[in-house]
Amino acid sequence: MTMKFMTLARHIIEQEKLHPGATGELSKLLHDLSLAAKVISLEVNKAGLADILGFTGDNNVHGEKVKKLDIFAHDMLIRAMDHGGHLAIMASEEEEDIIHIPDHYKTGKYVLLFDPLDGSSNIDVNISIGTIFAIYRRISNAGPGTLEDCLQPGDKQIAAGYIVYGSSTILVYTAGHGVHGFTLDPSFGEFILSHENIQIPKKGKIYSINEGNYKYWHPGLKKYIKYLQEEDKETERPYSSRYIGSMVADIHRNLLYGGIFMYPADSRSPRGKLRLVYECNPMSFIVEAAGGKSSDGKTRILDLVPENLHQRTPIFIGSADDVTMVEEFLAKEEVLNEIQHS
Ligand code: FDP
């Protein structure tokens, strides 16, 4: 069967019709986000050319400061999103505090949290990176939004998505009715539906973790990884190890093929590395909407109540059976530990 030939813009409108009484504000917001994504994608594709095209040191040919790509993406998102009248407040992984809507623009009912360019240590080596966003309804009354608007548990998201800048640029989003992917056609600048209603396999054959940190892991995690490496035809082991080191790209692959991505707490980083509100919540919302699971090892990520904007959390995310299994390995080891110390 040939796939529907449909643009993202059209898809957003179709999705809106599934919500009787929708005002169209969310659709416009998603549309504005896709515009920022196109500009960031263009800039990411030029990343290696900066020096060749005559940009010197910190200044470009016009004598302007050359922005680092993650700052460029941050600024572009704000420019695309601050004037639409849909947002009450924003927050970005690149900025310490909440970002207010300028006084001369209208505020709206939504809250936008984003990581403008995730995996940024991969930019200079031409490896996939991504943008992640989460959308909530404001909980404050009218007027400027507040920090509390931004610190809602992930379960309260009404939409989330990511853009992965890889061999092509793909935008994946959910607004509560399935997870859908769109590939950017660079020749006519439109995101075209390429992955309709993505469902993550219940169990995968891929694990993604930075094994360089093995020494610092929880003993239960060490045992789980060893288990995945053992041979057993029935449970399709050993698993393959795939780690790009770019959360969006690693999770995008696992979403399509099945598997588990892990960034655990360890003895050096007791709270893990990845950010709850900018990275883990939106990715967990998407993976759950595709039938997967996401946990900090014990608790569902989407149930965690953020205490501050830049808080970190351990994360185990992907195919539901795989996430349940790592939770079991971690719990078993906790019990053994308690028995030994009692
Ligand atoms: P990066 O440091 O390159 O920005 O969010 C941070 C992140 O990338 C994730 O995208 C990625 O999954 C993880 O960190 C990689 O961390 P390690 O280098 O510690 O494996």
Per-residue tokens: 70: 């993650």
Answer yes or no: is the C-beta of 169 below 6 A from any ligand 1 atom.
no
pLDDT of 159-213, one tens digit each?
A: 999 999 999 999 999 998 999 999 999 999 999 999 999 999 999 999 999 999 9
DSSP state of 312: B
Ligand 1 centroid, distance to 245 Cα (angstroms): 5
In this predicted model, which residue has the larger pLDDT, 120 or 219? 219
- Provide the pLDDT for residue 61: 47
Tell me how far apart the alpha carbons of residues 66 and 88 are, in angstroms, rounded to a whole number: 30
Q: What are phi and psi of 190, to 5 degrees?
A: -120, 145
Answer yes or no: is the C-beta of 208 below 6 A from any ligand 1 atom.
no
Q: What are phi and psi of 217, to 5 degrees?
A: -75, 160
The residues, ordered by sequence, that sit 6+ positions from 268 with a Cβ below 8 Å of its Cβ are 213, 216
pLDDT of 174-185, one tens digit each?
A: 998 999 999 999
- Provide the pLDDT for residue 60: 46
**DSSP character string of 19-45:** STT--SHHHHHHHHHHHHHHHHHHHHH
Tell me how far apart the alpha carbons of residues 209 and 247 are, in angstroms, rounded to a whole number: 10
- Residue 174 vs residues 58, 218, 259, 288: alpha-carbon distances, Å: 38, 33, 20, 10
> To the nearest whole percent, how much of the chain has pLDDT over 90?
82
> To the nearest whole percent, how much of the chain has pLDDT over 70?
93
Mean pLDDT across the chain, nearest whole number? 93
Phi-psi region of 233 (alpha: psi -120 to 50; beta: other; left: phi over 0): alpha
- Provide the pLDDT for residue 62: 47
Where residue 111 falls among pLDDT bands split at 50, 70, 90?
very high
Q: Does position 93 have pLDDT exceeding 80, yes or no?
A: yes
Which atom of ligand 1 is found nearest the CA of 129?
10
Q: Does position 142 have pLDDT exceeding 90, yes or no?
A: no
Q: Are 29 and 109 in contact (CB under 8 A)?
A: no
- Provide the pLDDT for residue 122: 87
Per-residue tokens: 29: 């917001």
Q: Whose CA is nearest to atom 12 of ligand 1?
A: 247
